[in-house]
Amino acid sequence: MLKVGVIGCGYWGPNLIRNFVQINETEVARVADLDGSRLRHMKGLYPTIETTEDYRDIITDPQIDIVAVATPVRTHYRIALEALSAQKHVFVEKPIAASVREAEELIALAERNERKLMVGHTFLYTSAVRKMKEIIDADELGEIYYINSQRLNLGLFQQDINVIWDLAPHDISIILYLLGQEPHSVRAIGTSHINPAIEDIAILTMNFANGLIAFIQSSWLDPDKVRKMTIVGSKKRLVYDDVQPTEKIRIYDKGVEKPAHYNTYAEFPYSYKYGDIIIPKLDGAEPIHTQLSHFIECINNGAAPISDGKSGLQVVKILEAAQRSLCTGSSPVSIE
Ligand SMILES: NC(=O)c1ccc[n+]([C@@H]2O[C@H](COP(=O)([O-])OP(=O)(O)OC[C@H]3O[C@@H](n4cnc5c(N)ncnc54)[C@H](O)[C@@H]3O)[C@@H](O)[C@H]2O)c1
């Protein structure tokens, strides 16, 4: 039985606690939050769990094997660094850290101390994204031309990060996972409407090899909750609508071709194909449960997690480049 300490019991932390409680191989021993009312709430739900306002009580507890961090982004690095230094396996919510330098340090320390470091790129553990990966790897969509991803809603406003750092880590991690490659450059445009210092709407573009481009639109100001990704390939198109309770993926056998030869003007210039729409069957497993079970498996068998520190670093590289682009009038920024 692995003992877990969870730091941060705000909006997201309780989801980690609930799933660690449900996993057979883990026991939640302690949870921490600066806010006593959050701790009283957790104690009400799980009377046997110890609570503390000082996260160092978790880090210095020799009984604890795993530390899970669900605090604001600016605190991830410090807490994860201390936990890795204390020989804990560490699960950090997305984005893994607030800068490339911080993410690199965490990866180096995890390697030195032979501890597992994993980041909460939760969508990689959904059956929808896994199915999409299978479809793309089987070349069903053909050459991918572009990806358009929208993650819009009213709120939840963050105090310390803009909408790109808050929402786009999901889209970025999904796109990098699906494509298995990193972009060569990034560009971002965004504006602030509620808090003048923090962009609340933004569009990020990522340019990949062979002209493949991905657009990511993020907003805290939209009236509707939208989580939609469209992938357009040379053979087929795929639409992933995460807001749908079922039938989240549709594959459209639609396309357009420019005929190599044509004899009459009527044949010129393009031929359109309107084929079937396929809706793949998906299982209903809870992604956080799949994600945390995968973490435990990796701790037990030594494998690298799908969303390991390096995957966290790739996402932070793009976020940092996007931030630079925002600050320089949306100029393109290269990714090393
Ligand atoms: N994977 C996902 O789908 C997903 C979804 C939402 C949020 N998140 C991530 O989870 C993290 C937390 O987000 P949230 O929305 O729950 O934020 P939140 O503000 O609701 O909760 C953060 C909690 O951390 C506590 N905290 C802050 N500093 C602390 C410290 N030093 N010690 C102990 N507790 C401390 C705060 O009191 C608060 O209760 C962020 O990294 C966010 O990006 C991930």
At residue 254, the pLDDT reads 85
95-107 pLDDT per residue, tens: 999 999 999 999 9
Mutate to test the pocket of ligand 1, among 71, 290, 316 (most ligand atoms within 8 A of CB): 71
10 CA → ligand 1 middle, Å: 5
Q: Which band of pLDDT confidence, cut at 50, 70 and 90, is reported for residue 242?
A: very high
**Mean of pLDDT values over 28-47:** 98
- Could you read off the pLDDT of 131-160 as tens digits, one per residue? 999 999 999 999 999 999 999 999 999 989
* C-alpha to C-alpha distance for 130 and 15, rounded to whole angstroms: 21
pLDDT at 107: 98
Compute the mean pLDDT over every residue in the chain, rounded to the nearest whole number.
96
Residue matched to tokens 């607030």: 98
- What distance in angstroms lies between residue 254's CA and the mean position of ligand 1's atoms? 42
Q: What confidence tier does 267 reach under pLDDT thresholds 50, 70, 90?
A: low
Residue 259 pLDDT class (50, 70, 90 cuts): confident
Look at residue 120 in the predicted model and tell me its pLDDT: 98
**Do 269 and 256 meet the contact criterion of CB atoms below 8 Å apart?**
no
With a pLDDT cut of 90, the percent of the chain lying above it is: 91
Cβ of 14 less than 6 Å from ligand 1:
no
Q: Whose CA is nearest to atom 2 of ligand 1?
A: 122
What domains appear along the chain, each with residue ranges and CATH number? Answer: 2-122+287-305 (3.40.50.720), 124-285+317-334 (3.30.360.10)
Q: Does residue 190 contact residue 334 with C-beta atoms inside 8 Å?
A: no
Q: Does residue 318 contact residue 183 with C-beta atoms inside 8 Å?
A: yes
How far is 259 from 273, CA to CA, in rounded Å? 12
CA of 117 to the centre of ligand 1 (A): 18
* pLDDT tens track for 284-335: 899 999 999 999 999 999 999 999 999 999 999 999 999 999 999 999 999 9
Tell me what the mean pLDDT of segment 88-93 comes to: 98
Task: Say yes or no: CB of residue 208 within 6 Å of ligand 1.
Answer: no
Q: Is the pLDDT of residue 264 over 80?
A: no
Beta pairing class for 89-93 and 117-120 = parallel
Give dist(CA 28, CA 241) in Å, integer: 34
Q: Is the CB of 148 under 6 A from ligand 1?
A: no
**Taking the CB of residue 268, how many other CB atoms lie within 10 A of it?**
11
How far is Cα 20 from Cα 26, in angstroms, rounded to an integer? 6
pTM, two decimals, is: 0.96
Give yes or no for residue 25 CB within 6 A of ligand 1.
Answer: no
Strands 249-257 and 213-219: unpaired
CA distance 69 to 92: 5
- For residues 227 and 243, the answer to whether their CB atoms sit within 8 Å is yes
3-class secondary structure, 149: strand
CA triple 204-166-168, angle to 5 deg: 35
> C-alpha distances in angstroms, 139 versus 97, 158, 237?
34, 39, 12
Choose the weakest-confidence range: 3-12, 22-31, 151-160, 290-299.
Answer: 151-160
